[in-house]
Structure 1
C-alpha cells in the first residue's frame, strides 16, 4: 500500500498546530507556577505570575522558532560547498 505524499500546506499547518499547543501548555504551566510562587513565597504579589508566564511564552516562542528554522539553533553552521576544503 503506497501512501500519498503529504503536501507542504499540511506540514505547515501541523507545525502551527504544534506551536499553538506548545504555547498554551507552557504559558499555562508558567502561570500555574507563578500563582503558586506568589501565594507561598511572595505574599500574593502579581509580578511572579507575570514573570513566569512570560518565561513560559518565551520558551514556547523559541521552540516554535527552532521548529520552523532548524538551522538557526546554537552550534549549527551551514557551510557551502565552495568553502569546504577538498579531500585528496
Structure 2
C-alpha cells in the first residue's frame, strides 16, 4: 500500500509564510542593530538619554519594513520599470 501524497501548499499559504518570516526576522535583526547603536550613542554622546534608543530602533524597524515591502513589490525598487503586456511582446 502506498501512502497518499501530501497535498501541495496553496499560493496564499506560501506568501503568508514568506511574509511572516521576512518581516519578523528582518524586524528582529534590524531593530536589534538599531537598538545597539542607540545604546552606544546614548552612553557615549548623549549622557544616557533614552531618545537615541527609540530613534535608532525606529530607524531599524522602518528599514526592515521597507526591505520586505520591496521584496514583495519589485515596482517600488528604484530604477525598475514595469512594461505593459503589449510592449513586452514587441521586444
For the 8 Å contact 1:23–1:60, the answer to whether it is kept is: yes
Backbone CA RMSD of aligned residues: 2.2
In the alignment, structure 1 segments of 5+ residues that lack a partner are: none
Aligned residues: 84
What is aligned with 1:7?
Answer: 10
- Distance (Å, rounded) in 1 between the aligned partners of 2:54 and 2:10: 39
Runs of 4+ in 1 over 3 A off after TM superposition: 4-7, 81-84
- Distance (Å, rounded) in 2 between the aligned partners of 1:35 and 1:27: 12
- Distance (Å, rounded) in 1 between the aligned partners of 2:30 and 2:12: 26
- Distance (Å, rounded) in 2 between the aligned partners of 1:74 and 1:11: 26
The C-alpha deviation readout for 1:15-74, integer Å capped at 9, x for no partner, is 321211111111111011101110011111112111111110110010110122122211
TM-score, normalized by length of structure 1?
Answer: 0.78
2:37 corresponds to 1:33:
yes
For the 8 Å contact 1:35–1:48, the answer to whether it is kept is: yes
Tell me which of 59, 62, 76 is aligned to 1:58.
Answer: 62
TM-score, normalized by length of structure 2?
Answer: 0.76
